Structure 1
Amino acid sequence: MTSLFNNYARRAIHLVKGQGTIVTDDSGKDYLDFTSGIAVVSLGHAHPAIVSALQQQSEKLWHVSNLFASPEQEKLAESLTKNTDLAYALFCNSGAEANEAAIKLARKHSGKHHILTFKQSFHGRTFGAMAATGQEKIQEGFGPMLQSFEALPFNDIDALKNAANENVAAIMLEVIQAEGGVNSIEPAFAQTVMDVCQQFGILLIIDEVQTGIGRTGTRYAYEQTVLKPDIISLAKGLGGGFPIGAILAGEGLFETFGPGSHGTTFGGNPLAVAVAQTVIDHIFEADFLENVQKQSAYLKAQLQEVLPADKFSLRGNGLLVGIHTNEQVGPIIQEAEQQGLLVVPAGTNVIRLLPPLTVSTDEIDQAVAILKKILL
């Protein structure tokens, strides 16, 4: 008997503690956590610096609302926008909230309503974010969606050219469609996105909720492409496990969000900002990002060595890696759990690996050994 809604397909194990990449259930069994809470626990579980930041802030101030000045928010905003073409931040509590804010900002600034998104995308489960998501299974049962979203085939240049015109407010995309199968944007398609945005005055929104904050080996995934966003959305890894989301936007959009245009009670609260600043101070260091790239290359090399190319293919970038197979991955993921490795799916045929950005070479070796045992 439960008092909870059944809207999650919950796994049977009950995790009670974690340290780094290792989590432990209530029976004392350890697991390698290659989910990171779905790309959230970016510095691993119970990172000492995050624990310290949260403890120190909890003894000073938890909440005052956004009616008051916040130098701490100002510092975090500056850290996130430094050395980018983005200038301003707005803080909220989650990725869905960040995408709702991005949609509102684009529509209000442009005075237009039509937004192009892409099939297999995922932008959240609130009403605007759900309408933007290019997966019918996410939208089923909720009646008519919020109007003016059009989902195009991803990486289809002709479809994009045919849909883009002066009535489009924004293009909204993920550099890597993490939930939708770990599908990466192709360079030629990215260039076409930039071309039509410039031609028709279309705003570009990039959803970096899962790919941002070092997950792909750079601060933001778009930095590895020709894409130049007007707005990006962030969450997940930004808080390292503490709830926080954000949008970053360019200089020209500042006046659009004046007082009363958007708001949040808890967004950017002192606890969340203290943790997020600590996360950024670690991850945005050049040496840290270089190590993410190094560990990514090692993980892919080890997987390629043990998995036959005629049966498996690798997708993604950084420490967002998908293993594509022709088999249903549900039973594989269950077997991995029994063997002490936690992973998540990305659709029905892709195993998604999302270890903490602090994962060690030895932990990668252990995970690959388990996958080899299961898959071969």
Structure 2
Amino acid sequence: MTAQPENSRTGTPTAPLNIPAIRDEFPILQREINGKPLVYLDNAASAQKPEFVIESVAGVYRSYYANVHRGLHTLANESTEAFELARDDVRRFINAARTEEIVFTRGSTEAINLLAHSFGQGLKAGDEIIISRMEHHSNIVPWRILADAKGLTLRWADVNAAGELDYPQLADMVNGDTKLIAISHMSNVLGTINHAERIMEIARSAGVPVLFDGSQSAVHIPVDMQALGCDFFVFTGHKLYGPSGIGVLYARGDWLDRLPPFMGGGEMIADVYEDRLTFADPPHKFEAGTPPIADAIGLGAAIRWLERHDRAAVMEHERALMDRAVTGMAAIEGVRMIGTAQDKGAIISFAMEGAHPHDIAQILDKYGIAVRAGHHCAQPLMRHMGVSATARASFAIYNTIEEADAFVDALKKARDFLI
């Protein structure tokens, strides 16, 4: 197999960050929007893709695409090798103990639904699941559906005015009926990075398994499954500079042996008889049908691309961008930040007195600036924070100080126009 663009499997970090060179790797950043240079600040929804990832995916279809695991011919063997190497890229990236703990899904949403279906089969009426008010709908709706179907109690850990989790309350909520704690590792609205170690201490003291939704954290902070000790962790490729349609469920130890499969079909079975089935070993037990082959290989490429860069330097850069924007926004009358937790990730949600977030986003787009507006799939959090919607600017490795300034300048113009 020679067609896939490749660097070393581990990637050697380069420091300091060369932001202009990094930007040159993203073709879409050369675009203009409404005659203005594109300033892409919608990274919490989905990040842009470097040429290395684009070519990795294209290379699959150009040179060695075939279905995986099922053939003996050369293309099938090459596709299978690349697909399983991508699984090992994921294992290394999150420092899982074994590749068998890594299930490819079509995103964080499917990963959580998989777990709700499979883990939920062992629950009964009266059992309790704890989530928090800062959760994305993807970590609410599957549990709500399960709770309604099985008579479970869904309990909500609160957040304070700064958008920080109420840890004493969480500890008080855990009891003998608690069967799972499912909490965002980093909020997609607030940028709050929850103290995973503290949550794990609470859970472990009661023998309760923990799921962390790492959809935001996986791209912004290093994650280490062996150090963290959580039972389940999910993340998605498209926020990690990779393709859409690919995600990951990590399950510690023998969880995948113990849980029943999510879907039935090809690939997830060892033997099929008229009167019985034998399932394949994990992780394939949970990967029914033809998987997103090129997308998984693209995720592996995105991981290797990100590993070229020192994660601490990336975090410092993104935090500097957020701080620059926050400082500028503080001088704009009527603008209120939603979420002011200490050491938060590079996400700014805000409201402007007298202006609807949708109007703000549309005006900013006239200046080439892409932000998100709405409830961000977090309606319980919106109500808890006293708003129906916010505008949101979110930063990534390729953003610049000049772009942060351009965002603030355009926001001032939006306020002048709207108020």
Residue matched to 1:6: none
- Aligned mates of 1:185, 1:53 — CA distance in 2: 31
Is structure 2 residue 95 aligned with structure 1 residue 84?
Answer: yes
> Are 2:178 and 1:156 equivalent residues in the alignment?
no
Q: Does 1:368 align with 2:408?
A: yes
Q: Structure 2 vs 1, CA of residues 78 and 344 (structure 1 numbering), >3 Å: closer, same or farther?
A: same
State the identity as a percent. 13
Q: CA deviation at 1:85?
A: 4.9
Contact map agreement 2:242 2:301 (CA 8 A) in 1 = no
1:182 alignment counterpart: 190
Q: Which residue of 2 aligns with 1:321?
A: 348
Q: Distance in 1 between matches of 2:152 and 2:247?
A: 25
Superposed, which structure 2 residues align to 1:36-55 within 5 Å? 36=43, 38-41=44-47, 44-45=48-49, 47-55=50-58
Tell me what 2:203 maps to. Answer: 197
TM-score by length of 1: 0.73
Write the distance in 2 (CA, Å) between the matches of 1:325 and 1:165. Answer: 41
Cross-structure match for 2:293 = 270
1:296-307 matches, cutoff 5 A: 296-307=318-329
Secondary structure of residue in 1 paired with 2:129: strand
The one-letter amino acid paired with 2:308 is E
Given candidates 40, 54, 57, the residue that maps to 1:33 is 40
CA deviation after TM superposition for structure 1 residue 52, in Å: 1.6
Per the TM alignment, residue 59 of structure 1 is displaced from its structure 2 partner at its CA by 1.9
Partner Cα separation in structure 1 for residue 187 and residue 85 of structure 2: 30
Secondary structure at 1:304 match in 2: helix
Contact 1:131–1:149 (CA under 8 A) maintained in structure 2: no
Question: CA contact under 8 A between 2:185 and 2:217: conserved in structure 1?
Answer: yes
Deviation of 1:257 after TM superposition, in Å, equals 4.8
Q: In the superposition, relative to structure 1, how do residues 151 and 24 fare at CA in structure 2: closer, same or farther (>3 Å)?
A: farther
Matching residue of 2:84: 74
Matched residues in 2 for 1:67 and 1:238: separation? 29
* Residues 248-287 of structure 1 mapped to structure 2, 5 A cutoff: 248-257=250-259, 259=279, 262-267=286-291, 269-287=292-310
Deviates more, 1:75-84 or 1:195-204: 75-84
- How far does residue 183 in structure 1 lie from its aligned partner after superposition? 5.5
Structure showing greater Rg: 2
1:350 aligned partner: 390
Shift of 1:191: 5.3
Separation of aligned partners in 2, 1:255 and 1:111: 21
Residue type at the aligned position of 1:361: I
Q: CA deviation at 1:90?
A: 0.3
Question: Structure 2 vs 1, CA of residues 152 and 278 (structure 1 numbering), >3 Å: closer, same or farther?
Answer: same
Long gaps (5+) in structure 2: 1-25, 72-76, 159-164, 261-278, 377-381, 383-387
Aligned length: 331
Q: What is the distance in 2 between the residues matched to 1:29 and 1:185? A: 33
Which blocks of at least 5 consecutive residues in structure 1 are unaligned? Answer: 1-17, 134-138
Among 347, 360, 369, the alignment partner of 1:341 is 369
Alignment of 1:103-252 (within 5 A): 103-107=116-120, 114-124=128-138, 130-132=141-143, 147-148=151-152, 150-154=154-158, 155-178=165-188, 181-182=189-190, 184=192, 187=195, 190=196, 193-212=199-218, 214=219, 216=220, 218-220=221-223, 228-235=229-236, 236-238=238-240, 240-252=242-254
Partners in 1 of 2:290 and 2:40 — Cα distance? Answer: 29
Distance 1:192 1:277 in 2: 30
In the alignment, which residue of structure 2 is the partner of 1:100? 113
Summarize the Cα distance change of 1:195–1:274 in structure 2 as closer, same or farther, 3 Å threshold. closer
Change (3 A) 1:114 1:265: farther
**Residue 166 of structure 1: how far off its partner (Å):** 3.1
* Inter-partner Cα distance in structure 2 for 1:263 and 1:292: 33
Cα gap change, 1:170 to 1:61, in 2 (>3 Å): farther
- The CA distance in 2 between the partners of 1:293 and 1:192, in whole Å, is 22
Q: CA offset at residue 129 of structure 1?
A: 5.6
1:269-316, Cα deviation, whole Å (9 max, x unpaired): 3311221111000113342x2342232232123223322278533647
In structure 2, what is the Cα distance between the partners aligned to 1:250 and 1:144?
27
Q: Distance in 2 between matches of 1:359 and 1:123?
A: 28
Cα RMSD, aligned residues only: 3.6
Answer yes or no: is the 8 Å Cα contact 1:77–1:89 preserved in 2: yes
- What secondary structure does 1:51 align onto? helix
Distance in 2 separating the partners of 1:352 and 1:171: 27
Whole-angstrom distance in 1 between the partners of 2:233 and 2:61? 29
Matching residue's letter, 2:323: A
CA distance in 1, matches of 2:193, 2:401: 28
Q: For 1:96 and 1:162, how far apart are their aligned partners in 2?
A: 28
Q: By how many angstroms is 1:116 displaced?
A: 1.5
Please give the alpha-carbon distance, in whole angstroms, between the structure 1 residues aligned to 2:243 and 2:367. Answer: 25
- Determine the C-alpha separation between the residues in 1 that align with 2:64 and 2:294: 8
Residue 56 (structure 1) aligns with: 59
Give the structure-2-normalised TM-score. Answer: 0.67
Distance 2:128 2:68 in 1: 33
AA aligned to 1:243 is G
SS of 2:180 mapped into structure 1: strand
Separation in structure 2 between the aligned mates of residue 66 and residue 72 of structure 1, nearest angstrom: 11
